[in-house]
Chain A
């Protein structure tokens, strides 16, 4: 295991429109690890995912986020992406007028250029996408359509995982990727993600339900409540949440401790 965490979050406080959402998050993620962040609606899970990706509406009040030793909060979203951070959106955005494959190619070449790699030509790009698209069992016809334009909920989520597979990030964050998926689609998407697990890549799965974690089995589970991580543990914690729900979080005064982290 690597000594230095890829992502290191310390005492992160974030507000939206003056309202505090995250209230002191501590989290570190190493290459090769899969972390699940669970919690009830409004606990701040999506905010955390989006702050890492660089959404600007969120104001960081306090704390730090370091990525590969650099101050992540200083970097614009495009630089984060080029440095290997990928957020699979909870609600993927429709971009009429820009075809899916053009978008994918522009994104890939922006990332490759930044990494000092040769940009792919049209043929190489097609071959690569042809291979990766099988991971998510997505209809190739969707490549020539505008990005997410008129896609079904399931198609949008597959498209996110296709982008993930093509861009090959170091840190992938899946924000409620399971929402709106039926069980078959969920298995396909989870299968795609599992094949992208690698010792060099970290994955953070943000989810409300334990369901997805039956298919993407995490190394660590963190429970977020009212903007703080209130418990951390192994995959069995997800099972416990499934059985007990989130109600007990408020009743039980559980404190987060450094000891919970391995």
Chain B
């Protein structure tokens, strides 16, 4: 039990506000919240003793006096929002300020037939009982419970059979507290029907906020033969605590790509749980995490092969500098029925300083006998041989190191299939590097 009496009171009060804030809510939702509350009050925040949390302390949350913000937050300007979005190509943009949908800040495009895109609050107000089965019951996850009991809004996307949205759907979650320790619990629901196609970006950033807490939770279903791409861009403020959970269920023949770039926040934890629940489903998890200063960045992924002939690929690269710490745990489960599964996992960590640290824990649980499963993990500094090779060709040491570091990170970003988003992230990676100007010069020289 790690929930102080003070926090118990604080989160209970927030719960009362959310549950009783006027709008008529369906009964099933009240039940869902009540159940989540009961579980959360019993378990509290996970401690280091919990197996899934042994490398990541959430003690900062215990100390924080986070509050749900009922007051009007500082409104970002249109220019501030433009500055955060990839320029150029068309996209559906839904802006959430401290977790609440802001239509006026959003940019909406026409949708094809069979597609519904909006805020979760609207969807819930419409009493769509059909949504009930899609919400995670989340046994065992304190943060999903916390999200369920406090969720008010988020992105809601529903694609019927054959529906295809060409432009990316961009959910922009902005924290704005003007110095107050705000918290938000965005809840997203993405239901992609049979043979549908969509690309969704979850983007976390802040406007004039620092010590805040965001706890996002996304439930997703990728229907039969659907093609779904999901991106997370996490550039929360330097003092922020970021927790995000994605739970996806894939039906037969579906192709799901989950890309992520974790750049910001003081403490972040990202859980991805994908179940390949139909024959021949394909799943790609592709993530880059950067940490410097005192940042702590944790990814916990589970790929659950429940049916035969599934393919999963997982690539995570971490670059850690100063006193930053990276944690990667990658579970791959192959169930008894999931014959002919082909699963590969790679996690590589680059340590740029003597005090940075990385923990990499692959975890394979294989219950079928006719499967191909591989995993590899590395933790270490840049390869001296590569540095010497470059220097021996006239490239100075700092540029050589910068280039190798950039290439290491770009290995992941190159798989991002949205070109404008990839370019933005490549620029951010570049700007993050020590000696960024030298690498920039090199890339400009060579016309990259």
Instruction: Tell whether A56 pairs with B395 under 8 Å between CB atoms, given A96-B407, A106-B445, A109-B445.
Output: no
Instruction: Tell whether A95 pairs with B392 under 8 Å between CB atoms, given A76-B397, A105-B446.
Output: no
B392, B394, B396, B407: the one within 8 Å of A98 (CB): B407
Instruction: Tell whether A122 pairs with B393 under 8 Å between CB atoms, given A97-B407, A97-B408.
Output: no
Confirm or deny: B385 has a beta carbon within 8 angstroms of a beta carbon on chain A: yes
B397 touches A98 (CB 8 A): no
A96 touches B394 (CB 8 A): no
B445 touches A119 (CB 8 A): yes
**B417-448 at interface with A (beta carbon < 8 Å):** 442, 445-448
In the bound complex, residues from chain A placing their C-beta under 8 Å from that of B393 are: 81, 103, 107, 110, 163, 167
CA distance A81 to B396 in the complex (A): 10
A78, A99, A106, A107: the one within 8 Å of B397 (CB): A78
In the bound complex, residues from chain A placing their C-beta under 8 Å from that of B384 are: 57
Confirm or deny: A82 has a beta carbon within 8 angstroms of a beta carbon on chain B: yes
* B22 CB, nearest partner CB in chain A, Å: 54
**A89-115 at interface with B (beta carbon < 8 Å):** 89, 92-99, 101-103, 105-107, 109-111, 114
Confirm or deny: A192 has a beta carbon within 8 angstroms of a beta carbon on chain B: no
Confirm or deny: A87 has a beta carbon within 8 angstroms of a beta carbon on chain B: yes
**Which secondary structure dominates chain B's binding surface?**
helix
B404 touches A95 (CB 8 A): yes
Confirm or deny: A77 has a beta carbon within 8 angstroms of a beta carbon on chain B: yes
Q: How many A-B residue pairs have CB under 8 A?
A: 82
Tally of chain B residues near chain A (CB < 8 A)? 27
B383, B392, B406: the one within 8 Å of A81 (CB): B392
CA distance A53 to B391 in the complex (A): 9
In the bound complex, residues from chain A placing their C-beta under 8 Å from that of B396 are: 78, 110
Confirm or deny: A218 has a beta carbon within 8 angstroms of a beta carbon on chain B: no
A87 touches B394 (CB 8 A): no
Confirm or deny: A134 has a beta carbon within 8 angstroms of a beta carbon on chain B: no
In the bound complex, residues from chain A placing their C-beta under 8 Å from that of B392 are: 53-54, 77-78, 80-81, 86-87, 89
B394 touches A105 (CB 8 A): no
In the bound complex, residues from chain A placing their C-beta under 8 Å from that of B404 are: 95, 97-98
Confirm or deny: A55 has a beta carbon within 8 angstroms of a beta carbon on chain B: yes
Instruction: Tell whether A77 pairs with B410 under 8 Å between CB atoms, given A107-B394, A107-B395, A119-B445.
Output: no
Residue among A78, A98, A105, A111 with the highest chain B CB neighbour number at 10 A: A98
Closest 8 CB pairs of A and B: A97-B407, A102-B446, A107-B393, A110-B394, A81-B394, A93-B389, A77-B391, A78-B391
A residues whose Cβ falls under 8 Å from a Cβ of B: 53-57, 76-78, 80-82, 86-87, 89, 92-99, 101-103, 105-107, 109-111, 114, 119, 122, 163, 167
**CB-defined A-B contacts under 8 Å, sample of 16:** A77-B391, A77-B392, A78-B392, A80-B392, A81-B392, A86-B392, A87-B392, A95-B386, A95-B389, A97-B404, A97-B408, A106-B395, A106-B399, A106-B445, A109-B445, A111-B394
